[in-house]
Amino acid sequence: METTKFLLSEKELPESWYNIVPDLPFELDPPIHPATREPVGPDAFTPIFPQEIIRQEVSTENHIPIPEEVRQIYALWRPTPLFRARRLERYLDTPARIYYKYEGVSPPGSHKPNTAVPQAYYNREEGVRRLTTETGAGQWGSSLAFACRLMGMECTVYMVRVSYEQKPYRRVMMQTYGAQVHASPTDITQAGRNVLAEDPDTTGSLGIAISEAVEDAVGNEDAKYSLGSVLNHVLLHQTVNGQEAIKQMEMAGEWPDVVIGCAGGGSNFGGFAFPFLRENLKGSRRTRFVAVEPASCPTLTKGRFTYDFGDTAGTTPMMKMYTLGHSFVPAGIHAGGLRYHGDSPILSALVHHGFVEARAYPQNPTFEAGVTFAQVEGIVPAPEVNHAIKAAMDLALEAKEAGEEKVIAFNLCGHGHFDLGAYERYLAGELVDLEYSEEEIERAVAAIPG
């Protein structure tokens, strides 16, 4: 029988996370204070994050040990399988060999608990009893709700009102894990009350929900805030995935020529790609890396590499990254996890320096790729992942044109079981493709201070 699935035993679960920062051949620009434009020290983060997370955020150590209790919880679904997409290869009639790592086997259904679990753990170790966060479509909220429950902590989620009303099942999942879920804006925070006073019928936004979650954490001694993407420590925790993938590619007797992932805030891409990218940085490999984003939120492909705020309200320190401007409101596409105006500072710098390339697709072609994938490989992917699948298929077809035996690996970072409403609209021909003009992006970028 042909091998399609490469499995590792629990014992082979990585013992540390891989920190790419000390291996980067350039300096990362530090976060700065918006008024003074001086670098902010780690202290700026102490009201919202625990000490160990702040240490990891600025760490220059190559390997950071994964605590035993975290590994034990990872073992509920890790190591995750690596598949060879033989049916997709045959469907495309390509000489390329296509592999995908499947993170949809985690209880919440995506890669996000890889960081939710250690974040909850370090908070609990430092005496924090409750975590607050925001969520849009609910993938991050359900991962943090899951992690908090397993660590015996409380979890408060500010869920953007429009999603709260239109996408009830992720909310019910969070509530099933025991989290308290609020439709944001609420009347329990000042930030929420301000917005409601101006517009009682607002649909809410991720920016408002972040402000509410941060205010709740800062104002309560026993609570801290938790973020599911973008920051260095989040990408760090996700590298458990890429490290497993290297061992599994070795089982298959392969090393990828191309590594692909979708990019919202950059965490699933970084976690999958960085352990492979390390070999390029050491000079021992020349793998190609492709981060894929929506054409309607083209941060890496059309944004500017500059200092900007992480949130819409402009309350965070400023980070050097590709950004469309913190006031940029992307269209309501179904790949909700990719609707962020900025991107990870590490991934942004890697794109800027030419180590990672970026491409963008409109949503209809990505859904077409996702439906094809479901029909040949069986897994219904999250709409975000469809961007990576579209790129993998395009590159496999290019390999066919060129008659090359390329090895392509991509990260299938979550299933789409809660996104069937989006598939329903795609199948009914109701999805529209939006792209922004240079002018519109110019305007959004012009609003960045400094």
Ligand X SMILES: *Cc1c(COP(=O)(O)O)cnc(C)c1O
Q: Return residues touching ligand X (CB under 6 A).
A: 110, 112, 139-140, 229, 262-269, 337-338, 382, 384-385, 413-414
Q: Which is nearer to ligand X, 31 or 264 (CB)?
A: 264
97-102: strand order across its sheet: 5-6, 82-84, 97-102, 407-412, 258-262, 288-294, 357-361
User: Rounded to 5 degrees, what angle do the CA atoms 122, 123, 128 make?
Assistant: 150
DSSP-assigned letter for residue 437? -
Q: Which is nearer to ligand X, 92 or 259 (CB)?
A: 259
Instruction: Find the shortest distance in angstroms from Cβ 48 to ligand X.
Output: 19
Q: Which is nearer to ligand X, 96 or 158 (CB)?
A: 158
Q: Is the CA virtual torsion 48, 50, 51, 53 positive or negative?
A: negative
Instruction: Find the shortest distance in angstroms from Cβ 109 to ligand X.
Output: 8
Query: Inter-axis angle of helices 232-251 and 113-125, to 10 degrees?
Result: 130
Pick from 414, 340, 388: which is nearest to 77 by CA? 414
Q: In the block, which residue shows the tokens 């999958």?
A: 272
Q: Which is nearer to ligand X, 120 or 262 (CB)?
A: 262
User: What are residue 317's phi and psi, to 5 degrees?
Assistant: -60, 160
- Report helix, strand or coil for 238: helix
Q: Which is nearer to ligand X, 338 or 349 (CB)?
A: 338
Q: Which is nearer to ligand X, 325 or 414 (CB)?
A: 414
Instruction: Find the shortest distance in angstroms from Cβ 134 to ligand X.
Output: 12
Instruction: Find the shortest distance in angstroms from Cβ 324 to ligand X.
Output: 15
Instruction: Find the shortest distance in angstroms from Cβ 333 to ligand X.
Output: 13
Q: Which is nearer to ligand X, 96 or 418 (CB)?
A: 418
How far apart CA 29 and CA 296 sit, in angstroms, is: 27
Q: Which is nearer to ligand X, 92 or 290 (CB)?
A: 290
User: What are residue 133's phi and psi, to 5 degrees?
Assistant: -160, 175
Instruction: Find the shortest distance in angstroms from Cβ 368 to ligand X.
Output: 18
Query: Inter-axis angle of helices 345-352 and 267-282, to 10 degrees?
Result: 50
Strands (E), 278-340: 288-294, 304-309, 318-323
Q: Which is nearer to ligand X, 74 or 406 (CB)?
A: 74
Instruction: Find the shortest distance in angstroms from Cβ 346 to ligand X.
Output: 12
Instruction: Find the shortest distance in angstroms from Cβ 260 to ligand X.
Output: 13
Instruction: Find the shortest distance in angstroms from Cβ 143 to ligand X.
Output: 8
User: What are residue 198's phi and psi, to 5 degrees?
Assistant: -80, -40
Q: For residue 133, list its beta bridge partners.
A: 157
154-160: strand order across its sheet: 180-184, 154-160, 130-135, 223-225
How far apart CA 195 and CA 385 sit, in angstroms, is: 33
Strands (E), 283-387: 288-294, 304-309, 318-323, 357-361
Side chain identity, residue 178: G
Instruction: Find the shortest distance in angstroms from Cβ 166 to ligand X.
Output: 17
Q: Which is nearer to ligand X, 216 or 419 (CB)?
A: 419
Strand (E) or helix (H) holding 133: strand 130-135
